[in-house]
C-alpha cells in the first residue's frame, strides 16, 4: 500500500520531545533549568574572542581531553567529550544498548534519560525512588536482568537533589555484573558538600564497568556552549567515539572548558556562594514547614503532589519561574536577589493551602 507518509520507527513516534524550562519574562527569575546565574569569567570570554569560526574544531578535542585526563590521573583515551554530557550519555547508551536491550535508571530522574534510551531503540526500566526521594539501589539492583546493558545512577539526582552515598554505591557496584555498564551521572558534583556522598573521582579505575559523567554546564557556567565529558575504560570511550556525531564539539566550547579549568578556583568560589544561597533557601523553606529533601545540587525539590501545577503558577505570579515535574517542583538556586521573592511565593503556597481547603493537596 502506498501512503503519503514516510515510514518512521514506531517507538520514536511515541516519544515526547525534551521540554526545556520555561523562559522568564521581564523582572522574573528563571529558576527552571538548573543554570548557573553567573556570567562567564572575563578570562573565559577573552579566550573566546580570539577564535575564528570558519575552521572546523579539533575533532578529537585532544588538548581538553589531556587536561581532564591529567586531573583524574588517567590516559587521554579514557576521556570522551561531547556537546554537553547529555551527548556523551547518548553515545554510551547507543554504543551499549540496542533494540531488545534494557537500560535501568531511577525515576524520577533527569528527563532526558527516557528519550536517549528510546532513540537507541532500547527499553527503559524506570525504578521508583524511595519515599525520601532517593535512589532505591536495592530495587535498581533487582531490576537488572540478562537484558540489561546500562544502569544510570544520578547523584545528586535531578530533580530531587538527593545523593547516593559512597557506601551505598560501592555495595551496589559489588552486585552489578561486570558486563553491565554503570554510568554515574555527576552533573552537579561540584555543589555537593555531604562528605558521605559518592565521589566519582575516587572510583575511577576501580571498576571495569564504571563510567563517570561530568559537565561544564553547571558549576562552570558554560551551559550555552555545550560541553561535557565522561571518564571510563578506554575501550568503552572508544565505542562512544565510534557513535559520536563527528565535529559536534566546537572549538569555542573546547577553549572555554580549558580556560575554565585554568581558572577553576574562581569558578569554585562562585559555587561556594551558590551553596550559601542554597542554604538560605532551604532554611527559609523548612521554616515555612516544607519537607525539603537535603539538597546537594544547585536546586531544591518541593514535593507538592497534586498541587504542583497550581503551585508553579503561584511562583510565576511572584516572578519566579520553576519547573513543574509531575509530583513536585524543582527550583534552581539562582541569583541572590531571587531568594526573597522565592520565599514569598513558597509562603503563599503554604498559606493558601492552609486557609483554603479547596486548593489541591
Q: Under the criterion CB under 6 A, does residue 212 sit at the interface with ligand PLP?
A: no
Listed ranges 52-60, 78-86, 95-103, 315-323: which one lies at the site for ligand PLP (CB under 6 A): 78-86
Spell out where the chain has E strands: 29-30, 79-82, 102-107, 123-128, 148-154, 181-185, 210-215, 228-231, 299-302, 320-321, 323-325, 328-332
Q: Which is nearer to ligand PLP, 80 or 215 (CB)?
A: 215
Which one of residues 29, 61, 94, 110 is an interface residue with ligand PLP (CB under 6 A)? 110
**What number of residues does the chain have?**
361
Helix axes 264-287, 251-262, angle to 10 degrees: 80
Which one of residues 118, 217, 304, 346 is an interface residue with ligand PLP (CB under 6 A)? 217
Q: Which is nearer to ligand PLP, 314 or 321 (CB)?
A: 321
Q: Name the residue with the smallest CB distance to ligand PLP.
A: 84
Which one of residues 41, 64, 65, 84 is an interface residue with ligand PLP (CB under 6 A)? 84
> Residue 23 and residue 238: Cα distance in Å, rounded?
37
Which one of residues 228, 232, 233, 284 is an interface residue with ligand PLP (CB under 6 A)? 228
Q: Under the criterion CB under 6 A, does residue 137 sit at the interface with ligand PLP?
A: no
Q: Which is nearer to ligand PLP, 158 or 260 (CB)?
A: 158
Nearest distance in Å: CB 154, ligand PLP = 5
Total residues at interface with ligand PLP (CB under 6 A): 13
Listed ranges 19-27, 61-69, 82-90, 314-322: which one lies at the site for ligand PLP (CB under 6 A): 82-90
Contact yes or no for 326/276 (Cβ under 8 A): no
Nearest distance in Å: CB 33, ligand PLP = 7
Hey, what's the torsion of the CAs at 44, 320, 281, 168, to 10 degrees? -70
Within 8 A by CB and 6+ apart from 153, the residues are 105, 106, 135, 137, 140, 164, 169, 172, 182, 183, 184, 185
Q: Which is nearer to ligand PLP, 187 or 342 (CB)?
A: 187
Q: Under the criterion CB under 6 A, does residue 158 sit at the interface with ligand PLP?
A: yes
Listed ranges 83-91, 98-106, 189-197, 275-283: which one lies at the site for ligand PLP (CB under 6 A): 83-91
Q: Under the criterion CB under 6 A, does residue 298 sit at the interface with ligand PLP?
A: no
Q: How would you label 199-224 residue by residue, b for 16+ Cβ within 10 Å and e otherwise?
A: bbeebbeebebbbbbbbbbbbbbbbe
Helix axes 112-119, 85-96, angle to 10 degrees: 40
User: From its phi and psi, is residue 316 left (phi > 0), alpha (psi between -120 and 50) or beta?
Assistant: alpha
Q: What are the residues binding ligand PLP (CB under 6 A)?
A: 34, 84-86, 110, 154, 158, 185, 187, 215, 217, 223, 228
Amino acid at each position: 500500500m502506498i501512503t503519503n507518509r514516510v515510514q518512521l520507527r514506531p517507538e520514536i513516534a511515541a516519544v515526547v520531545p525534551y521540554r526545556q524550562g520555561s523562559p522568564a519574562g521581564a523582572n522574573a527569575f528563571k529558576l527552571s533549568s538548573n543554570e548557573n546565574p553567573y556570567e562567564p569569567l572575563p578570562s573565559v570570554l577573552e579566550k573566546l574572542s580570539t577564535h575564528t569560526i570558519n575552521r572546523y574544531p579539533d575533532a578529537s578535542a585532544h588538548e581538553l581531553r589531556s587536561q581532564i585526563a591529567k586531573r583524574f590521573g588517567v590516559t587521554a583515551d579514557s576521556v570522551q567529550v561531547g556537546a554537553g554530557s547529555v551527548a556523551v550519555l547518548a553515545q554510551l547508551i547507543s554504543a551499549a544498548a540496542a533494540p531488545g536491550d534494557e537500560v535501568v535508571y531511577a525515576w524520577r530522574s533527569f528527563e532526558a534519560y527516557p528519550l536517549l534510551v528510546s532513540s537507541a531503540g532500547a527499553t527503559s526500566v524506570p525504578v521508583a525512588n524511595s519515599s525520601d526521594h532517593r535512589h532505591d539501589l536495592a530495587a535498581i539492583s533487582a531490576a537488572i536482568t540478562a537484558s540489561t546493558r546500562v544502569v544510570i545512577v544520578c547523584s545528586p539526582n535531578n530533580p530531587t537533589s538527593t545523593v547516593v552515598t559512597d557506601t551505598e554505591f560501592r555495595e551496589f557496584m559489588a552486585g552489578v555484573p561486570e558486563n553491565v555498564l554503570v554510568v554515574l551521572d555527576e552533573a552537579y558534583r561540584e555543589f555537593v558538600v555531604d562528605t558521605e556522598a559518592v565521589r566519582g573521582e575516587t572510583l575511577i579505575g576501580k571498576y571495569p564497568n564504571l563510567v563517570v559523567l561530568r559537565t561544564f554546564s553547571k558549576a562552570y557556567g558554560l551551559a550555552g556552549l555545550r560541553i561535557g565529558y565522561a571518564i571510563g575504560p578506554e575501550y568503552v570511550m572508544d565505542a562512544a567515539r565510534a557513535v559520536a556525531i563527528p565535529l559536534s564539539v566546537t572549538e569555542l566550547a573546547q577553549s572555554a572548558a580549558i580556560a575554565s579549568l585554568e581558572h577553576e578556583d574562581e569558578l569554585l568560589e562562585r559555587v561556594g556562594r551558590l551553596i550559601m544561597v542554597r542554604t538560605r533557601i532551604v532554611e527559609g523553606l523548612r521554616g515555612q514547614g516544607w519537607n525539603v529533601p537535603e539538597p546537594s545540587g544547585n536546586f531544591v525539590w518541593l514535593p507538592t503532589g497534586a498541587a504542583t501545577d497550581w503551585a508553579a503558577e503561584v511562583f510565576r505570579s511572584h516572578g519566579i519561574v520553576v519547573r513543574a515535574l509531575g509530583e513536585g517542583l524543582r527550583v534552581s538556586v539562582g541569583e541572590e536577589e531571587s531568594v526573597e521573592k522565592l520565599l514569598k511565593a513558597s509562603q503563599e503556597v503554604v498559606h493558601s493551602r492552609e486557609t483554603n481547603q479547596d486548593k489541591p493537596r
